[in-house]
């Protein structure tokens, strides 16, 4: 069984498009899946929209009382997926930037690898809708993190990825230090340290059409603080 985990905060308009599209892909490809939505008390009624869709699709809504961050949203979803014996667990954005039609390609690559990353920066990968400045920041952050963490991965910050369940089972999720977008780097670092095979496949990333980006300068600073800590840990060991 496949369990995509989708954190949400003010994604009502996007989620009512995304969820039916995911299950359409599942049906067309004979995939058994259960979607886990982790909502941080969105004031726009995202959770209410998910509840409507629960009547039609196998969805589990985890509604939290306040905004707790993307990292803790994923770890909460991971734990539930593992409890339910999911074979494959996905990370996926709610803002339509990740095309659900790529899901079968992720699953196919998991026949040979343990973690599959949807990469904007390998050959064939694309970004649609970003300014030049945003692209420079993202490229720079990934290049620096790759060196600091010793990861031969071009898109460390990608939020579209799939894990075999044993990868997540090997990680002490409660000990993850980061709670923002730095979470993406930390969990990849742990997977690599535990000896798992990681593969990047090209995707086209489409910037959100509705709603506001959650990325902030604080997130960027926290990302580099985490990379520094992990780099020092790696050197000391």
pLDDT digits (tens, 9 = 90+) for 82-129: 999 999 999 999 999 999 999 999 999 999 999 999 999 999 999 998
Grouping H, G, I as helix, E, B as strand and the rest as coil, residue 5 is: strand
* CATH code at 2-236: 3.90.550.10
Alpha helices in 67-156 (DSSP H): 70-83, 103-109, 132-149
pLDDT at 213 over 60: no
pLDDT digits (tens, 9 = 90+) for 54-64: 999 999 999 99
Which residues make Cβ contacts (< 8 Å) with residue 33, sequence separation at least 6? 1, 2, 3, 4, 22, 23, 26, 58
Burial 193-220 (b: 16+ CB within 10 A, else e): beebebbbbbbebbebeebeebeeeebb
Which residues make Cβ contacts (< 8 Å) with residue 83, sequence separation at least 6? none
Q: In angstroms, rounded to a whole number, what is the distance separating the alpha carbons of residues 22 and 82?
A: 20
pLDDT digits (tens, 9 = 90+) for 186-207: 999 999 999 999 999 999 999 8
Grouping H, G, I as helix, E, B as strand and the rest as coil, residue 32 is: coil
Range 27-30, long-range pairs (CB < 8 A, 24+ positions)? 29/103, 29/104
Answer for the pair 231, 149: CB distance below 8 angstroms, yes or no.
yes
pLDDT confidence of 150, banded at 50, 70, 90? confident
With CA atoms as reference, report the closest residue to 45 among 59, 57, 60, 61: 61
Q: What is the pTM of this model?
A: 0.90
Helix, strand, coil percent content, the chain, rounded in steps of 5: 45, 20, 35
């Amino acid at each position: 069984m496949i369990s995509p985990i989708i954190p949400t905060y003010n994604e009502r308009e996007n989620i009512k498009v995304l969820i039916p599209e995911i299950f359409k892909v599942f049906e067309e490809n004979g995939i058994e899946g259960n979607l886990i939505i982790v909502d941080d008390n969105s004031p726009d009624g995202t959770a209410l929209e998910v509840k409507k869709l629960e009547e039609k699709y196998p969805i589990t809504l985890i509604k939290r009382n306040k905004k707790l961050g993307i990292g803790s949203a994923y770890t909460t979803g991971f734990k539930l997926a593992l409890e339910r014996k999911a074979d494959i667990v996905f990370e996926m954005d709610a803002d339509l930037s990740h095309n659900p039609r790529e899901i079968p390609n992720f699953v196919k690559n998991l026949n040979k690898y343990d973690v599959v990353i949807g990469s904007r920066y390998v050959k064939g990968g694309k970004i649609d809708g970003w300014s030049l400045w945003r692209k420079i920041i993202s490229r720079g952050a990934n290049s620096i993190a790759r060196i600091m963490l010793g990861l031969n991965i071009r898109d460390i910050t990608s939020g579209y990825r799939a894990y075999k369940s044993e990868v997540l089972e090997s990680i002490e999720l409660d000990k993850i230090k980061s709670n923002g977008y730095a979470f993406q780097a930390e969990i990849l670092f742990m997977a690599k340290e535990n000896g798992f095979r990681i593969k990047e496949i090209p995707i086209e990333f489409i910037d959100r059409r509705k709603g506001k980006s959650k990325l902030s300068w604080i997130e960027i600073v926290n990302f580099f603080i985490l990379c520094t800590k992990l780099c020092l840990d790696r050197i000391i060991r």
